[in-house]
Chain A
Amino acid sequence: MSMNARDDLLDKRVSLFKHLDGTRRSGTADASKDIHPAILSLTLQIASYTVIGSSARCMATLRAFQEVIKDYRTPAGTTLSRNLTNHLSKQIDFLKTARPLSVTMGNSIRWLKQEISIVSIDVSDQHARDSLIEKIDTFIRDKIEVADRVIVQTASPQISNGDVVLTFARSQVIEQIFLEAHSRGTQFSVVVVDSRPFYEGKELVRRLSNAGLKCEYVLISGLSYVMSDATTVFLGAHAVMSNGQLYSRVGTALVAMSAKRKNVPVIVCCESLKFSKEVQLDSVTFNELGCPDDLVNISSESTPKPGPLKDWRTKPNLKLLNILFDLTPPEYIKKIVTEVGSLPPSSVPVILREYERI
């Protein structure tokens, strides 16, 4: 009984988020022999945030699936279209132990499974494998690479001379937009707002300043100080929900809200692959937990310096909460730039329906 009470006191899960699983894989020792080595290594890379960002994770996953398909041999007594899906599901289940699948990963897996299911049983294994690998190549090219290029072409002319554009954390497509606008000779400066514990914006600011862009770097606590100078806010996305809510790196909602209050337009740039059929109302029901120990560090140096909370796990009543995403309401967003055009958040379900048929 007293043991139970003690356990309760030392339960480090925050009650609001107890429905989310915060466990992360740290090794591959328990992996079954069915798991492909490419998946093993990708799982570790995702778990350690070496591969981070919705598009990057999606691309890496599809590339790993190409390896899986290349080495796949249909066992006797079954067909590729039936068995490969099963085999892939095992890989996907293993991948999920690193981090929950991103919306882009979910969407592309759904597409891939559909493609596998329609492989005719008459074609040879070799031929089916080759055609699937080629289809994945086309998918990556169309849905991510070309889509990004189209978004960059649409969004970069929207930066004009003398603008101060503000962005939060790091999005690859946003980075390309800024670089493109800069190479077109537009004179503008960039404010990068960043946050703990990932400091993704640091990498963005490094790349932009190396390209010769004028950059300002500030942490999210200084947001109000820099927002008054901004003329436009550009944000990337992890996903856009079908009710128009933007699901992105935690802190995005604060930036969008602050911009809206100061009448600074907020433009979200993302591929339509990031559109999700799901609806969501708040950041609590569905989210992803990060490792709370990441918050113990109190220094901005590369070597972590544990502060007063280094023994927090042994202290009753004390918790650390690290969630990775938040939900930005559609009223803060002026428009979403995608490869199929620029649209208001309310049009997300329209796009989903239109392109479902194709």
Chain B
Amino acid sequence: MSSSSAHTGRDKEKDLNTHIESFLAQMKRRQIKGPHDVALATAQLLLRVVSAARWTHIDQLITQIKVVGKRLQSAQPRELTCGNIVRRVLALIREEAEDTDDSESGDGASNSLLITSMFSLLQTDFDKESSRESSPGEKKDLKPYIIEGIQELIDELRNSSESIAGKSVEMIHENETILTATPNSNTVLKFLLRAAQKRKFTVLIAEVFPNDIEMAHRFAMKLSEAGIEATVITDAMVYSIMGRVGKVILGTCAVLANGGLLATAGSEMICQCANAHRTPVVVCTGIYKLSPMYPFDTESLVEVGDTGKVLNFEEGNLVEKVDVVNPLFDYVPPELVDIYITNLGGFSPSFMYRLVLDNYRQEDVKL
């Protein structure tokens, strides 16, 4: 009886390991890509990890998630959302654990917490962890609560672009000209389509050649089918037309704690251009893309892609002699962004660090 249960336990672990391995492989091969899909896949995988996990103390679960999270993130270090979701789950577990700690120890504990709060400033994290370890073992099973929490997170991921779209009418007025340069963003597409139900406006779409051009053309098709006047322009034309643009609306791959962001290549020059013309820049993003990282080294955040798309290999002679560069992303500093529209509402870039503190725990920033 006992041996068979140990056997199924090992089976479960093996099963989980294959799931993790397949996730890692898919990340590396870019079969899962784009912040939304990566976030969703990470959350679903962590749900499995938590379901399969066994722990006697909550710290064991946290360590376990951290170990898995580190592996997941290193599969594709530039997909910051993967790490974000891991940190969100960790924060969730910690919160559940603290809630039960509080309710178990009752009012007396919170009183003593008040008294010692000044003293605890001087305590290190290590002391806190060890003190918790020495506290009596857990009585309440946290698993269902944590699983419920992750499921709520998954729901949030699924609904985030819908709730962002809900704010579109407040952002776009009748007869406005909008410029967008992130055709890979589903969030922006939904945002514009929702606004089109109530407003009539024109959208200029920068083609983002060579990496996203096909997507840009499809993006324009979808807008025009919804009755929005869509005009495709080349990337070079942005400056000449910016004076006639009411707002620039961009999607993003990741938002950083300083309020800066990573988006498709060309975004920085477009935001600079908007800034030069005093045109507001609106960035639509789900809160799951907000990363607790600071961009100390912006160059390492930018990934470079296939140079064959820039200079075709037919031109072999030229390719041999010339360095060809095809950056995939741009880092846009916070001073070029006017407002972030998130599923939690609109925020100015200078406020983003607060949202980081709300969503993540300081001790999880480094996985």
Whose C-beta in chain A lies nearest to the C-beta of B219?
A: A308
Restricting to A280-320, which residues have a CB under 8 Å from any CB of B? 282-284, 287, 295, 298-302, 307-309, 315-320
| Complex contacts, A150 vs chain B, CB 8 Å | none
Counting chain B CB atoms within 10 Å of each CB, the highest count among A222, A225, A287, A298 belongs to A222
Chain A residues 250-267 with CB under 8 Å of chain B are 250-251, 253-254, 257-258, 261
Q: Looking at the assembled complex, report how far the CB atom of A357 sits from the nearest CB atom of chain B, in whole angstroms.
A: 35
How far apart are A203's CB and chain B's nearest CB, in angstroms? 10
How near does chain B come to A20, taking the closest CB pair, in angstroms?
Answer: 12
Q: Is B357 an interface residue (CB 8 A)?
A: no
Chain B: how many interface residues by the 8 Å CB criterion? 60
Instruction: Evaluate contact between B314 and A326: CB separation under 8 angstroms.
Output: no
Interface residues on A, range: 35 or more
How far apart are the CA atoms of A253 and B204 in the complex, in Å? 18
CB distance from B18 to the nearest CB of A (A): 38
In the complex, per-residue mask of B291-334: 1 if CB is within 8 Å of any chain A CB, else 0: 00000000100101000111110110010011111110011000
Contact assessment for B232 and A317 in the assembled complex, using a CB-CB cutoff below 8 Å? no
Separation of A282 and B224 alpha carbons in the complex (Å): 28
Contacts of B233 in A (CB 8 A): 320-321
A195 at the interface (CB under 8 A from B): yes
- Tell me if B227 counts as interface (CB < 8 A to partner A): yes
Interface of A (DSSP majority class)? mixed
Is A226 among interface residues, defined by CB-CB distance under 8 A? yes
Given contacts A219-B210, A225-B265, A251-B236, contact A16 B241 (CB under 8 A): yes
Q: Mark A232-275, 1 if CB is under 8 A from B, else 0.
A: 00000000000000000111011001100100000000000000
Contact call A295/B325, Cβ cutoff below 8 A: no
Interface residues of B in 214-241 (CB under 8 A from A): 214, 217-218, 220-221, 223-225, 227-241
Q: B57 contacts the other chain (Cβ, under 8 Å)?
A: no
A222-B326, A307-B213 known; A215-B309 Cβ under 8 A = no
Q: Which residues of B contact A325 (CB under 8 A)?
A: 240
A-side contacts of B309, CB under 8 Å: 300
What residue in chain B is nearest A17 (Cβ atoms)?
A: B241
A215 to B209, CA, bound (A): 21
A209 within 8 A of B: yes
9-residue interface stretch from B7-15, B30-38, B109-117, B269-277? B269-277
Give every chain B residue within 8 A of A215 (Cβ-Cβ): 321-323
Given the known interface contacts A223-B269, A258-B272, A315-B221, the answer about A206 and B318 at a Cβ–Cβ threshold of 8 Å is yes
Q: Nearest residue in B to A251 (C-beta to C-beta)? A: B236
Q: Please provide the chain B residues from 317 to 367 with a CB less than 8 Å away from any CB of chain A in the complex.
A: 318, 321-327, 330-331
Q: Cα distance A325–B239 when bound, in Å?
A: 11
B207 beta carbon closer than 8 Å to chain A:
yes
**Additional A-B contacts beyond A254-B239, A321-B204 (10; CB < 8 A):** A202-B315, A222-B310, A249-B236, A250-B234, A284-B240, A300-B210, A308-B221, A309-B220, A319-B230, A321-B232
Counting from the closest, the 9 A-B pairs by CB-CB distance are A251-B236, A283-B240, A221-B266, A326-B240, A317-B224, A253-B239, A318-B224, A209-B321, A225-B327
A residues with CB within 8 A of B: 14, 16, 195-197, 202, 205-206, 209-210, 214-226, 228, 249-251, 253-254, 257-258, 261, 282-284, 287, 295, 298-302, 307-309, 315-323, 325-327
> Mind listing 8 A-B residue pairs with CB under 8 Å?
A217-B322, A218-B310, A226-B325, A300-B309, A309-B220, A309-B221, A315-B225, A326-B236
